């Protein structure tokens, strides 16, 4: 077992490193090395539109192969182009009510998850243009409520044993793609609503046995320690994918979105009755909510605060394949003040726009209780991590830099990393002295002097520029 710590080099326990194109399309001119991505994709769309008319699936494949190197890494468009570039032609046919389909436009934008019922209803459709479906010959056709055809899926293919359909919308400009989705997450989330109660009532812990991804990981942290910033920095690499607080006490929080109970099918029931199986279901899902494919991401993880679920924490500790990133904040005065502001304002993600209108009264005894309890908590967590069978890397909030976050990536990927990173628009904590967050700074100063922790009064700011 390896326990590596990434902390500011000015403090004890200094930084210790962990050991460390497709063919051009026949139907599309080969893209120059510095092609304009927008113009290139416009040309790709034109080829695919024509292919839907001429029913040349091979032209779709070649166009997708041309577009693929120019897609943003980790984007829904890249995911869709990868599917189309590797798909093979297949015979069209009836979809079958048991299948679920991801409906997208050719640019990767998600339209929805739909089920084509045997009675002609398109369950899950959000627009009247996809209200009904029928077969024209052997091809699926979407219809308006009045029976007017809106999209005819004239091309059929297969990718990894699942069906893929392409068709032109009635404006003759928009290409729609239906991709079969059969992961357990999608089936549970899109379970017919009248079945959620009976299914949840019969479900027993351990009854579902979803397989873990090859490299599962967890970001172990606590509120107001910079976990959302670190999660964004890691995900921005395109090489790993971490969800947010899947075990949040109020909501299922995936990356960038909270799943509403009324839109989550049986997921909340599964989480309440069998947290470990729920986490495996989430880690093994094939697509994110924005339609990007996750099957090809090397490392799949989630964020966990131990107080959210002891069952989940115990599973993390006991799962030898789980790679653990432990994040902590050395400056407990900064963490304490951030917690009080977050509770007062209900603002839990990123730094607030301003603290000038929210100065906190400092109570020395209350702060001392927090410090004592927090230190006991950290000792407990570190002791459990030291005794587990898998590797752990520990990083301190103010140590964030391009170098240290890439060292975390290298730990997760088991290979060197020098990725470009960004915070994905997350607001940072304000660059001000921590003591200035309180309306009685003299009391704060006296308390810190008595504790021998005067350094906590100053500016605490990780390096988040230059990533």
Say what the pLDDT of residue 33 is.
Answer: 54
pLDDT digits (tens, 9 = 90+) for 217-234: 999 999 999 999 999 999
Second-level CATH architecture of 3-18+186-457? 3-Layer(aba) Sandwich (3.40)
Q: What values do phi and psi take at 4, rounded to 5?
A: -110, 140
Nearest residue to 432 via CA among 348, 328, 337: 337
pLDDT digits (tens, 9 = 90+) for 177-195: 999 999 999 999 999 999 9
Residue tagged 């984007």 (tokens): 75
Task: Provide the residue ranges of all domains of the chain, joining segments of one domain with +.
Answer: 3-18+186-457, 37-182
Say what the pLDDT of residue 13 is.
Answer: 34
Say what the pLDDT of residue 255 is.
Answer: 96
31: pLDDT strictly greater than 60? no
Say what the pLDDT of residue 203 is.
Answer: 82
Q: Is pTM, for the whole model, over 0.85?
A: yes
CA distances from 325 to 131, 273, 315, 407, 410 (A): 46, 27, 15, 11, 12
Say what the pLDDT of residue 3 is.
Answer: 66
Say what the pLDDT of residue 207 is.
Answer: 83
pLDDT digits (tens, 9 = 90+) for 153-175: 999 999 999 999 999 999 889 99
3-state helix/strand/coil string of the chain: CCEEEECCCCCCCCCCCCCCCCCCCCCCCCCCCCCCHHHHHHHHHHHHHHHHHHCCHHHHHHHHHHHHHHCCCCCHHHHHHHHHHHCEECCCCCCCCCCEEEEEECCCCEEEEEEECCCCEEECCCCHHHCEEEEECCEEEEECCCCCEEEEEEEEEEECCEEEEEEEECCCCCEEEEEEECCHHHHHHCCCHHHHHHHHHHCCCCCCCCCCCCCEEEEECCCCCCHHHHHHHHHCCCCEEEEEECCCCCCEEECCEEECHHHCCCHHHHHHHCHHHHHHHHHCCCECCCCCECCCCCEEEEEECHHHCHHHHHHHHHCCCCEEEEEECCCHHHHHHHHHHHHHHCCCCCCCCCCCCCCECCCHHHHHHHHHHHHHHHHHHHHHHHHCCCCEEEEEHHHCCHHHHHHHHHHHHCCCCCCCCCCCCCCCCCCCEHHHHECCHHHHHHHHHHHCCHHHHCECCCCCCCC
């Amino acid at each position: 077992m390896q326990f590596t710590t990434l902390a500011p080099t000015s403090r004890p326990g200094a930084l210790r490193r962990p050991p460390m194109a497709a063919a051009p399309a026949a139907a599309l001119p080969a893209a120059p090395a510095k092609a304009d991505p927008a113009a290139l994709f416009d040309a790709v769309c034109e080829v695919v539109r024509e292919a839907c008319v001429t029913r040349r699936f091979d032209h779709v494949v070649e166009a997708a192969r041309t577009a693929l190197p120019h897609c943003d890494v980790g984007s829904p468009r890249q995911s869709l182009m990868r599917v189309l570039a590797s798909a093979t032609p297949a015979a069209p046919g009836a979809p079958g009510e048991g299948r679920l389909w991801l409906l997208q436009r050719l640019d990767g934008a998600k339209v929805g998850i739909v089920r084509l019922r045997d009675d002609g209803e398109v369950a899950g459709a959000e627009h009247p243009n996809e209200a009904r479906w029928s077969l024209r010959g052997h091809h699926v056709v979407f219809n308006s409520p009045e029976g007017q055809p809106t999209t005819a899926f004239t091309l059929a293919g297969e990718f990894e044993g699942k069906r893929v359909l392409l068709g032109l919308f009635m404006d003759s400009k928009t290409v729609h793609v239906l991709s079969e989705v059969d992961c357990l997450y999608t089936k549970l989330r899109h379970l017919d609503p009248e079945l959620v109660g009976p299914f949840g009532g019969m479900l027993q812990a351990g009854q579902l046995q979803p397989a873990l991804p090859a490299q599962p990981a967890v970001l172990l942290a606590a509120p107001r320690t910079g976990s959302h910033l670190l999660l964004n920095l890691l995900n921005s690499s395109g090489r790993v994918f971490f969800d947010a607080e899947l075990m949040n006490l109020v909501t299922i929080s995936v990356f960038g979105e909270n799943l509403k109970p009324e839109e989550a099918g049986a997921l909340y029931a599964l989480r309440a009755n069998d947290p470990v199986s729920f986490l495996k279901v989430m880690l093994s899902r094939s697509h994110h909510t924005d339609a990007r494919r996750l099957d090809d991401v090397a490392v799949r993880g989630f964020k966990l605060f131990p107080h959210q679920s002891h069952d989940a924490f115990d599973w993390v500790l006991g799962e030898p394949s789980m790679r653990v990133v432990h994040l902590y904040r050395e400056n407990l005065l900064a963490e304490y003040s951030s917690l009080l502001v977050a509770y007062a304002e209900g603002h839990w993600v990123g730094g607030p726009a301003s603290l000038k209108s929210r100065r906190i009264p400092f109570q020395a005894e209350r702060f001392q209780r927090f410090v004592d309890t927090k230190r006991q908590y950290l000792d407990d967590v570190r002791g459990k991590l030291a005794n587990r069978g898998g590797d752990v890397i520990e990083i301190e909030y103010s140590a964030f830099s391009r170098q240290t976050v890439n060292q975390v990536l290298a730990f997760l990927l088991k290979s060197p990393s020098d990725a470009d990173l960004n915070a994905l628009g997350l607001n940072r904590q304000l660059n001000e002295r921590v003591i200035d967050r309180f309306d009685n700074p003299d009391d704060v100063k006296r308390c810190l002097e008595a504790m021998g922790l005067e350094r906590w009064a100053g500016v605490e700011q990780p390096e988040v520029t230059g990533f």
